[in-house]
Amino acid sequence: MNAFEKPTNPSHWSNHYDVERFEKSGHEAVGILTDYLQTSMDSLRDFVLPLHDPNERLAMWKSEMNRGPDGSGDLLRGDLLQRVLDRSNHLHDPRYAGHQVAVPLPELAWLTAATALLNNGMAIDEMGPASSPMEEAVMRSVAQFMGMGDNASGILCHGGTLANLTALLAARQFQSTGDEWRDGTADNFAVLVSEQAHYCVDRAVRVMGWGEQGTVHVNTDAQNCIRPEALEVAFVEAERKGLKVLCVVGSSCTTSSGAFDDLNVLADFAEAKGLWFHVDGAHGAAQIFSKRHRSPLEGMHRADSVAMDFHKMLGVPALCTGLFYRRSEDAYAAFSQRAEYLYEHDVQDEWWNLSKRTFECTKRMLSVAIFGIWEQHGPNLWESLVDELVGNAKVFAANVSKRDGWELFASPESNIVCFRSTRWDNARLRAQMVEKGPHYIVKTEMRGETWLRCTFQNPYTDESVSSSILTRLEELGTEWLQE
């Protein structure tokens, strides 16, 4: 066969473009997913999280993968969808109160399926003729709703980690006297951030080559919020070490315990020192939609940039993060990249070529879900969702405080509650809950001590469900005393 001849392989792929087959498997999938949803929402499983030893799970999947085709040629192999559903963590079960990931609004699964089928790559306008202008429109509206001003806008990216890195890249380019993007970084730059901040801020700093010293941790109070007076102390100490501080990052809120830094204090400090002010609102910036719960975000509108995950409190499937800039043109500072094969000319501020502002080249059509929510409800759906989630956390916290043998870390301002038993070993309690179920809760370490942690992500985790968390933990504690 010469190099230009087409090989005659059996066409394994072509059946999978069969339109009738697509329709049939779609109908089946709708039935299976509907059953999954009902079973989860009715808490009909023994466990929210079916967790066995990781190596056992790996062995099971490997042996299934290696048993060979079943002859149907079906990519879902009849029960693949069911096996994935059965063996995953079930967020739609109201007994889920674990990590901070949205319990997605179920209809968004269909929009997400549609965008997976379309697979428009989004890097440039031609690869997102619907979803690029949708993104620009909805991000501008949300940025303005957040009070960031008429010139504010935002872009969507795959996660808060990437959004925080992107914001810091923009801060670096904007604040430095040279062209860091072109020439690389010679200065010892540094960022001031709470010692309780999410690790991704430190990771971004290290990715930018500023090393361990580039993250200057600011001391926090008993509630895990930055102490205002500690800002100046950290700044002076950093300068003394020869570091050039270019940014201060506020946590809204911290991941572990849901503590909000005072953003007006941070904004004043940034203004006085001429620093970029970024808010890591991956988790809590969503509270801006709630009149009742937005007060911890006072001052957020003064930030140069804000990261907010739609996939945490706002019911949108992961990953979907908004990175908002008060001055929309600053978004172009993060990446001053030439890409001849993509862009026709060098003009920086082409909003329609989204990859000029994002780390990603290809990205999912993230705007469609958010656009759908905003078009139908404006901020109202998110307001009611945030009210429910934070309300459920407050009810649970009140219950913890009333019940003997339990201690609350702090009164919650978000949907995160840290608490602990004063009778039993908390790490063991949580391990027993994971092993024996049925609820799913997590734990954290603060100042060397273990705290149990619930994030109220599911709006159906009402008072009766959340009080059964405490009752179950008490049962587990009592059981092992009797062992």
Q: Is 283 in the site for ligand PLP (CB under 6 A)?
A: yes
- Minimum CB distance to ligand PLP, residue 110 (Å): 23
453 lines the binding site for ligand PLP (CB under 6 A):
no
Alpha helices in 146-278 (DSSP H): 160-175, 180-183, 199-207, 228-240, 263-273
Residue 138 is classified by DSSP as H
Q: Is 280 in the site for ligand PLP (CB under 6 A)?
A: yes
- Taking CB positions, which residue lies at the least distance from ligand PLP? 160
Of the candidate spans 158-166, 234-242, 269-277, 341-349, the one that interacts with ligand PLP by CB under 6 A turns out to be 158-166
Smallest distance from ligand PLP to CB 438, Å: 24
Q: Give residue 326's identity as a one-letter amino acid code.
A: R
Contacts of 184 (CB under 8 A, 6+ apart): none
- List, as one string, the DSSP characters of 419-464: EEESSS-HHHHHHHHHHH-S-B-EEEEETTEEEEEEE---TT--HH
Q: Which is nearer to ligand PLP, 192 or 470 (CB)?
A: 192
Amino acid identity of residue 356, one-letter, is K
Q: Which stretch binds ligand PLP (CB under 6 A): 80-88, 111-119, 156-164, 235-243?
A: 156-164
Q: Which residues on neighbouring strands pair with residue 450, listed in sequence order?
A: 445
CA distance 250 to 269: 11
Nearer to ligand PLP, 135 or 280 (CB): 280
Q: Which helix (H) or strand (E) holds 473?
A: helix 463-482
364 binds ligand PLP (CB under 6 A): no
CA 366, 174, 264, 252 dihedral sign is positive
Please, which of residues 307-336 interact with ligand PLP by CB under 6 A?
A: 309, 319, 321
Q: What are phi and psi of 119, to 5 degrees?
A: 55, 40
Stretch that binds ligand PLP, among 35-43, 183-191, 275-283, 367-375 (CB under 6 A): 275-283
100 near ligand PLP, rule: CB under 6 A: yes
For ligand PLP, which is the closer residue by CB, 181 or 359? 359
Can residue 255 be called a binding residue for ligand PLP (CB under 6 A)? Answer: yes
Binding letters toward ligand PLP, positions 176-215, x by CB under 6 A: ----------------------x-x---------------
Residue from the set 104, 160, 258, 317 that interacts with ligand PLP by CB under 6 A: 160
User: Exposure pattern of 271-293 as b/e (b: 16+ CB <10 Å)?
Assistant: eeeebbbbbbbbbbbbbbbbeeb
Site of interaction with ligand PLP (CB under 6 A): 100, 159-161, 198, 200, 251, 255, 280, 282-283, 309, 319, 321
